[in-house]
Amino acid sequence: MLTLTCPCCGVIAEETEFAPGGEAHLKRFGPGSSDDEFEGYLFARKNPKGVHFERWRHAYGCGKWFLAARDTNTLEVFATYKAQTTEPPADVIAKIKAKRPDWEGYK
């Protein structure tokens, strides 16, 4: 079972209280972008076995979106953090590196 801590209200809850929102830190390509960029934005998603960054919404709780760094293989959650970030914060990266020294890094 996946247990997440909502960074907006501090509640520790299990998966069914949250709604998943797919991959985090996507950059939007809208009007003016090339077809390839737009296709990538719409369809290309990472599907790693290991460290992954995701969007979640505390649907049955405070209703806020937040981001989570977790391992898709072990369900270990490294950190949850505010949605208002365009890339993983340094402290989250440091936490992951401490636990997964051979992780190739974000991107």
Which residue ranges make up the site for other proteins (CB under 8 A)? 8-14, 16-17, 60-64
Instruction: Please state the closest distance from residue 106 (CB atom) to other proteins, in A.
Output: 27
User: What tokens does 48 get?
Assistant: 């790693």
Instruction: Please state the closest distance from residue 46 (CB atom) to other proteins, in A.
Output: 29
Smaller CB distance to other proteins: residue 10 or 32?
A: 10
Distance of CA 47 to the CA centre of its chain: 12
Smaller CB distance to other proteins: residue 53 or 66?
A: 66
Instruction: Please state the closest distance from residue 78 (CB atom) to other proteins, in A.
Output: 22
Q: Rounded CA gap, 96 and 39, in Å?
A: 30
Give all strands of the β-sheet with 51-57 in edge-to-edge order: 19-23, 51-57, 65-71, 77-82
Smaller CB distance to other proteins: residue 40 or 61?
A: 61
Cβ contact 50:88 at 8 Å: no
